[in-house]
Chains A and B, each alone.
Chain A
Amino acid sequence: MTSTSTFGCPHCGKPNPLAATFCGACGAYLLGLDAAEMTRKSNPPADDEPVFQPRNDAPTPPSDPAQTQPWLRPDFDQPESERPDSERPGSERPNPPERGRPSPDDQPWLRADSDAQPTDPPPRPAPQRLVGGLQGLIEPIEIDQSLFRPESAGPTRSALDDLPYETRRELRQLFATDVPILEDPAQENPEVGLSAGQGRGLWRRNWIYGLLLAALLLGLWFANATPDSRPHSWPGVSAAYSAIDSLSADAVVLVNWAYDPSNAGEMDLAALPVIEHLLEKGARLLVVSQLPGGPATARRLIAVARTGASQAALSRQLGDTLVEGGYLPGGVASLPLLGQAPVQSVPVDMQGRAVGNRAAIRALATDSPALLLILAARSEEVQRWIEQVQSLDDAPIVAVTSAAVDPAIRPYVDSGQIVGLVSGYAGGIEYQTLMADVLTTSGQESQRRHITGQNWALVVLLLVVAVGSLAGLAERREP
């Protein structure tokens, strides 16, 4: 047995190596704890087991974690002039903690005797910041009450304070628990003598890898999606189609190309039918991007859309109807100008020609664009345009997003700030269906490939979930 190589974290209970500086689960500062005592508390050693002794040649830990981690000080936000004299740099603290041990005032849960006093929880320091807690994960987030009552300097209490100390500790353990999987049994039980990749029952990694590989190969081998199979699309696609279909000829559309090749695999499938529809309608596009790789990605997809456009649309596109605004730096700070004065925000295009003289978007000098089209792989890009651009030019927004962004954007669809939403490749296929286009043979083959791929991805995921659950259940039965 190698039980003396770890000890339980006094904060969350997670086993940690004796040499650990921070807890691997909750991040509590562990350096300088009395490791031998903590080891005895968590794992009582056998009589013949050696007890951990700190090495003499180990680096000397800091006497106070607040020296190396000043953010641990409760008065971290206060200016120097407002701190007590004893806490200013260069001054001696009245009662310096023992060398090698973190200050219990800063981290009360590190007290070795904290578990022995379940009815007397350690005092909590009053929060000095706007919000407290570790992202609200371990303990609920707290709003600093001094913001509303500057005079009240007393400590605030949360609902957790009313719980027994053991219950609070269990809650911390619950949120810090990591499901142990795929532990190499040969490491835990050297006497078993199994090599990595082997093990008991469901721990056999080779089995899992083999199943995954087999499912992938089967998916590639049997491309058997039926021609009429369609993915389920979320609401909002038909509204997006109607908004674009109602555009008049030569309407100016301001396009935010907020994805680059990293997301193009999914985004192109959703964006292509929308761009094709805009070209068919003869819309004039001013394309800008706030990603360095965005303009080049846009140029490629628009070229693909043009190859699929009808002759009538191509003849209309012979005019100067596409303006590549290029890369727009500045993040959110540059967007209000795009909403108030687009031509001033994009003075020249990618070829260095002045945008203000282009007949295609001359209407933007006096009027708002007829439509804002946002092609985004992140929800923040859509939110920024709603807040900083649409609020100034009042143009309707159609968003084309990845499927993962859909839930974060849908409240804006429900409120009417976004008139249409096409999300993921399912939305793209639904949009293509609405266009009533007769797909070419290659288009049908491409669509069938994607649907087949998603079908088999589902099979793989279901397989993985089933194996994982069985492994978890089997693990709980272990003695």
Chain B
Amino acid sequence: MFAQRSPWINRIALLIVALVAGLLFVDRLGDGFNSDLPTRPIANLLYTWALLLSAFTLILGVFHLLWTHLDRIQQGSQEWPLSLLLVVAFVLVLVAGFAASGGVTSPLLEWTFDALIAPGQATLFALTGFFVVAAAYRYLRLGSPGGLWILAGALITLLVQTPLSQQALPPVATQFADWLLLVPVMAVMRGALLGGALAVLFAGVRLFFGPKG
């Protein structure tokens, strides 16, 4: 980390990170004990800075995107018409937002959302159904490695969740599917959540106290 920079800059940067993390940690610790510590206003100020900084990064990202695609258009790179389309769409939406009196809730932008953005996003997500069908064909097989267990779990969940089949199944099948979700699946998910949290904790400890930090 910071291997190419001066050791003093590394240490100052790490010191700032450690101070901010320590302050936020103390603030959250005080909140856990229901005591208002004097760190609260500073913590809120830091959170506000994070909010402003992230908003600024959005603007920076927009400028970078525009710069990249304008450069592609100027250079005549491959598929430059798509870049031109992006820039034109960006300018149109931006002008519509600034020119309309209602801002982001103006009828023109509402129409853009209803007629273009929403159907486009929904269409792309609808392709998931085809991926599910393709995945079911390829992997929910008796002969594939571990396929029997995956197939059994998928079938019991599908049959219990679907009205058509649930009416024909005995109640014990529904209870078994509920048990699967509430006991083994939950145990696995808890393990994953706890494992992920411990990994983050150890990564933080290593960052601050590790021999290479």
Contact = CB atoms under 8 A, between A and B. Distances in A.
A189 B71 CA distance: 49
Interface in A436-474: 451, 454-455, 457-462, 464-465, 467-469, 471-473
Contacts of B55: 329-330
A229 interface: yes
Interface residues of B, number: 72
B165 interface: yes
B206 interface: yes
A99 B158 CA distance: 56
Contact of B164 (A79, A229, A341): A229
Q: Interface size for chain A: under 10, 10 to 19, 20 to 34, or 35 or more residues?
A: 35 or more
Interface stretch (A255-263, A269-277, A314-322): A255-263
B104 to A, nearest CB: 6
A310 interface: no
B164 A458 contact: yes
B189 A329 contact: no
Contact of A181 (B54, B138, B178): B138
Given A174-B145, A330-B55, A225 B181 contact: no
A383 B200 CA distance: 15
Interface in A305-358: 326, 328-331, 333-334, 336-337, 340-341, 344-345, 350-352
A428 to B, nearest CB: 13
Nearest to A475: B143
B50 A411 contact: no
A177 B181 CA distance: 29
Contacts of A262: 121-122, 124-125
A451 B113 CA distance: 29
B73 interface: no
Given A460-B133, A461-B133, A330 B139 contact: no
Interface in B10-32: 24, 28, 31-32
A407 B189 contact: yes
Nearest to A178: B138
B164 A260 contact: no
Interface in A137-169: 146-147, 150
B118 interface: yes
Contact of B174 (A229, A232, A333): A232
Nearest to B24: A336
A80 B121 contact: no
A52 interface: no
B85 to A, nearest CB: 19
B203 A337 contact: no
B140 A337 contact: no
Contacts of B126: 265
B160 A232 contact: yes
Q: Dominant SS at the B interface?
A: helix
A411 B186 contact: yes
B170 interface: no
A426 interface: yes
A300 to B, nearest CB: 8
Q: Dominant SS at the A interface?
A: helix
B211 interface: yes
A1 interface: no
B193 interface: yes
Contacts of B210: 147
B125 A263 contact: yes
- Of A212, A457, A467, A468, chain B has the most CB atoms within 10 Å of the CB of A468
Contacts of B161: 231-232, 403, 426, 454
A392 B162 contact: no
B136 A455 contact: no
Interface string B100-139: 0001110000100100011101101110000011001111
B43 A340 contact: yes
Nearest to A408: B189
B113 A231 contact: no
Given A232-B174, A260-B121, A334-B51, A465 B162 contact: no
Interface string B165-181: 11100000010011001
B43 A476 contact: no
B113 A293 contact: yes
Contact of B206 (A130, A460, A464, A475): A130
A333 B141 CA distance: 44
B136 A465 contact: yes
Contact of A130 (B44, B104, B178, B203): B203
B59 to A, nearest CB: 10
Lowest 10 CB-CB distances: which A-B pairs, in order?
A330-B54, A337-B47, A261-B118, A455-B164, A229-B163, A79-B3, A262-B121, A262-B125, A333-B50, A472-B143
Given A179-B144, A212-B133, A410-B182, 15 more contacts: A130-B203, A147-B206, A232-B160, A234-B178, A328-B51, A329-B51, A329-B54, A337-B44, A341-B44, A352-B103, A457-B162, A464-B136, A465-B151, A468-B140, A473-B142
